[in-house]
Amino acid sequence: MLPAATMLDAKVPRYTSYPTAPHFHSGLGPETAREWISGLPGDKSVSLYLHIPFCDRLCWFCACHTKQTRRYEPVSAYLQVLHAEITGIGRLLDGRVPAGAIHLGGGSPTMLRPEDLITLGKCLRDAFHVLPDAEISVEIDPNDMDEQRLDALAEFGMTRASLGIQDFDPRVQEAINRLQSFEQTAYVVDGARARGIDSVNLDLLYGLPHQTVESATSTLRQALQMAPGRMALFGYAHVPWMKKHQTRIKDEWLPDGTERYAQAQAVRALALEAGYQPIGIDHFALPGDALALASQQGRLRRNFQGYSADRCDTIIGLGPSAISQFEQGYLQNAPATGDYTRRIVDKGFATVRGVTLTDDDRIRRWVIEKLMCDFYFSRAEAFNRFGTAADNVMWQARQLAETETGSLCEWRNDRFEVTDTGRPFVRLIAARFDVYFTAAAARHSVAV
């Protein structure tokens, strides 16, 4: 039985943070960043996220902060500023805080020249004590890759390669301006493994223009031939009001809610049939993969990079638009590269907005992350973590479970659980705990 159209078309946040980024404000700046970073304890490792805000080709589906450039000079100039930000924060920490994970994202990090990738890796290790077992992941556009870049990524220390695929169907690729063959993609996977990088993640999308159940499942079957350790099967986020290049994708090319849901269910079924374990709402991993183990052990996390096995509570975002996560709250750098550059040169920090968490925010952040990762939270654990401050949210959870008539959630064994029926709609359930969310004013992607 198909869910109601109102559920399929509902628009809610993806909940990679709480409060979500639209609720950040301009009251937090460089002084706050300096204070929060200086106060980090030396006995806990942090994660580093580096944003490369350039692509040599703009994909119409992309919702990232990036811009196209066919000249390398702006990239070279930007890297000098990024090095300055890295060095400045490293100096502030004085080498006392270890880095347990590094994620290089974009944009297209792999458009960097090989020598620049190697130099960036050296800059990071000069500024931070990168732990020997640190997970170092890089987002890869297979169109950028050659033997020299593969060698450079190995020298950079990459331990996990994350490759974007989206869809292998030529008609879909043309509609999203992402021409990429199976052979190109397999070449990168093989090249990474030949250099000892065994952890491979593949990103695919459903809900793309001209996409069908048949094309989505055909793409996944081809992806499975490369035996990735994990896969992300995302729903395309059509947000042309936020990303103007998405206006090149005509609304009439997109599948409706019923077709989109069918695609999501079909690729999910195929992934499960192939032996992958479901992780959260849109990730899948082979048994034994770090993400699968984290999910089984209740250690799965969700942040701006999606689902993660990262044990670090603090994420330091580097580069324009990058978001940092601290115990106190979130901070975001200036999105525009020029503005980011001026702020780093003038003050050493490019922080322009953020949010400080209240006690209620922390409780709701925990509840929403538990729902997005595990599909449940227990009353006992809530009170163990937050004491009687959790009373209000736990009462709300019980009321929701008792009054919800769609069989999406229930209160059982003193815990709030999302049912199997409700799991595809967990973002809708999470939104019920979001005191900032107003459906009438929502400008988000569809929930499924």
Q: Which domains does the chain have, with CATH numbers?
A: 10-355 (3.80.30.20), 358-441 (1.10.10.920)
Query: Please, what is the Cα angle at 221 between 215 and 226, to 5 degrees?
Result: 135
Q: Where are the alpha helices (DSSP H) in 17-102?
A: 30-38, 73-93
Measured distance CA(121)–CA(257) in Å, rounded: 43
- Nearest residue to 256 via CA among 448, 442, 73: 448
- Nearest residue to 236 via CA among 100, 61, 393: 61
User: Any residues with CB less than 8 A from the CB of 415 and at least 6 apart, and which?
Assistant: 376, 377, 378, 379, 380
Confidence of residue 85 (pLDDT cuts 50, 70, 90): very high
What is the maximal distance between C-alpha atoms in the chain?
A: 60
In sequence order, the β-bridge partners of residue 177 are none
CA 374 → CA 4, 250, 334, distances in Å? 24, 36, 33
Report the interhelical angle of 379-386 vs 391-403 (nearest 10°). 160
Centre a 10 Å sphere on the Cβ of residue 164 and count the other Cβ atoms it contains: 22
In sequence order, the β-bridge partners of residue 279 are 283
Extract the tokens encoding 138. Answer: 């890089």
Centre a 10 Å sphere on the Cβ of residue 311 and count the other Cβ atoms it contains: 14
Residue 106 near residue 50 (C-beta atoms within 8 A)? no
Mean pLDDT of 92-105: 92
Confidence of residue 59 (pLDDT cuts 50, 70, 90): confident
- Nearest residue to 352 via CA among 332, 369, 372: 332
Extract the tokens encoding 380. Answer: 């006992």
Measured distance CA(30)–CA(331) in Å, rounded: 9
In sequence order, the β-bridge partners of residue 333 are 351
- Nearest residue to 266 via CA among 303, 316, 305, 213: 213
Residue 226 near residue 277 (C-beta atoms within 8 A)? no
What pLDDT, on a 0 to 100 scale, did the predictor assign at position 305?
A: 85
In sequence order, the β-bridge partners of residue 51 are 105
Three-state SS for 118-134 is HHHHHHHHHHCEEEEEE
Measured distance CA(22)–CA(43) in Å, rounded: 32
pLDDT, tens only, 201-236: 999 999 999 999 999 999 999 999 999 999 999 999
What pLDDT, on a 0 to 100 scale, did the predictor assign at position 375?
A: 97
Mean pLDDT of 256-263: 93
pTM value is 0.92
What pLDDT, on a 0 to 100 scale, did the predictor assign at position 2?
A: 42
What pLDDT, on a 0 to 100 scale, did the predictor assign at position 448?
A: 60
H-helix or E-strand spanning residue 202: strand 199-206
pLDDT, tens only, 30-57: 999 999 999 999 889 999 999 999 998 8
pLDDT, tens only, 124-160: 999 999 999 999 999 999 999 999 999 999 999 999 9
Measured distance CA(410)–CA(408) in Å, rounded: 7
